[in-house]
Chain A
Amino acid sequence: LPESFDWRDKGAVTEVKMQGTCGACWAFSTTGSIEGANFIATGKLLNLSEQQLVDCDHTCDKKDKESCNSGCKGGLMTNAYNYLIEAGGIEDEDSYPYTGKRGECKFQPDKVAVKVSNFTNIPVDEQQIAAYLVNHGPLAVGLNAVFMQTYIGGVSCPLICGKRWVNHGVLLVGYGSKGFSILRLSNQPYWIIKNSWGKRWGEHGYYKLCRGHGMCGMNTMVSAVMTQTS
């Protein structure tokens, strides 16, 4: 594994998006992982539609029937992959633009930009997560976002952060080995995480979270997606 790695440098990550006052982070996490997988498969970076997921995806988790995708009221990335496999694919942002509100489903199968063939859950081991990130592209991740309300920058490494309360979907795009901490006067490894709260939040829309401690449960809900190329 390289010491540091960033899919943004390789052109696999779209611009930071803004979900607005709509709890659809799960949709942004899903599209981010598909955008990356499609880039690796085709060399083309497409901006994919979250609104299709917000409007059309009502898939429920197969184990927990109460965890159903429900537009701005929340969802799960793994449910979304299952929906996209069933639906036949995802449109791009231009053909199905984001409104930030749940509306009537306007999915047009003939406008599908990327097809999803499969997905996989990544082991909780953070070395494995790094290996899958490098080999398969950006990964959809769930984490506990309690410290993100006040986050401005730097490497976040809270002394206490609940690992069970995973409540926010984001995209893992890379990692670094030397995030300097003024207070600890040392360097520490960190993950580079793309958020969907616009560029004015965090470090130009990104969050740096310390690596190797299962911080804020970031290692418990990690998934990679496979796209289908014709």
Chain B
Amino acid sequence: QEDFKIRQVTDQNHQTTTAHGGDNHHNHNHNYLGTPAEHRFKSFIQQYDKKYTTREEYIHRLGVFVKNLIKAAEHQALDPTAVHGVTQFSDLTSEEFERMYMGVKGGGDRSPLLGEVGSHAPPLEVKD
């Protein structure tokens, strides 16, 4: 059974990110140890056979995982007809996810130059 109590997941002092911001985040992530979120993280690690080489990395990924739980809940609210939740990418930041798993460059106008191969397709009959 999961513990559904609301827990504080934000910084106590609203510290801004400074040169030592990384340390703040790291310390903050320690707060997740022993919580239901860590329990879910352990299940995630088992399910997707994840391996983290150091304790620091484990704690960092735990913090990312918690943020992604919040993101999944936001996506669920914004996209109610789909099911959103924990996936194999739940330990990746948005930047890491984009860098590692996407890779289409630029979404602007891709229409070809006049006379080159790859012209625009003529419209087809689509009535009925």
Of A8-16, A34-42, A123-131, the segment with at least 4 beta carbons within 8 Å of chain B is: A123-131
Q: Contact string, B85-128, partner A, CB cutoff 8 A, digits 1/0?
A: 11111101010011111111111111111001111110111101
Does B19 have its Cβ within 8 Å of any Cβ on chain A? no
Which of chain B's residues 69-95 have a Cβ closer than 8 Å to chain A? 71-72, 75-76, 78-90, 92, 94
Contact surface of B with A, Cβ cutoff 8 Å: 48, 68, 71-72, 75-76, 78-90, 92, 94, 97-113, 116-121, 123-126, 128
Q: Are B84 and A145 in contact (CB under 8 A)?
A: no
Write the nearest CB–CB distance from B118 to chain A, whole angstroms.
Answer: 5
* Complex Cα gap A135–B126 (Å): 11
Q: Are A74 and B102 in contact (CB under 8 A)?
A: yes
Write the nearest CB–CB distance from A13 to chain B, whole angstroms.
Answer: 20
Write the nearest CB–CB distance from A34 to chain B, whole angstroms.
Answer: 14
Which of chain A's residues 54-90 have a Cβ closer than 8 Å to chain B? 61-64, 66-68, 72-78, 81-82, 85
Which of chain A's residues 162-182 have a Cβ closer than 8 Å to chain B? 164-169, 179, 181-182
Q: Are B103 and A26 in contact (CB under 8 A)?
A: yes
- Nearest-CB residue, chain B, relative to A159: B78
* Complex Cα gap A63–B106 (Å): 12
A220: chain B residues at CB < 8 Å are 107
Does A157 have its Cβ within 8 Å of any Cβ on chain B? yes
Q: Are B79 and A147 in contact (CB under 8 A)?
A: yes
Q: Are B82 and A151 in contact (CB under 8 A)?
A: yes
Take A82-B117, A159-B78 as given contacts and tell me if A147 and B84 are in contact as well, using a CB distance cutoff of 8 Å.
Answer: yes
* Complex Cα gap A85–B92 (Å): 37
Of A17-25, A91-99, A105-113, the segment with at least 4 beta carbons within 8 Å of chain B is: A17-25
Write the nearest CB–CB distance from A26 to chain B, whole angstroms.
Answer: 6
Q: Are B118 and A152 in contact (CB under 8 A)?
A: no
Does A122 have its Cβ within 8 Å of any Cβ on chain B? yes
Q: Jot down 21 A-B pairs with beta carbons below 8 A, ordered by A.
A: A25-B102, A64-B106, A72-B103, A74-B102, A120-B119, A121-B121, A125-B123, A128-B123, A128-B124, A131-B126, A147-B75, A150-B68, A150-B72, A150-B76, A150-B86, A151-B82, A156-B81, A158-B75, A159-B79, A168-B102, A224-B121
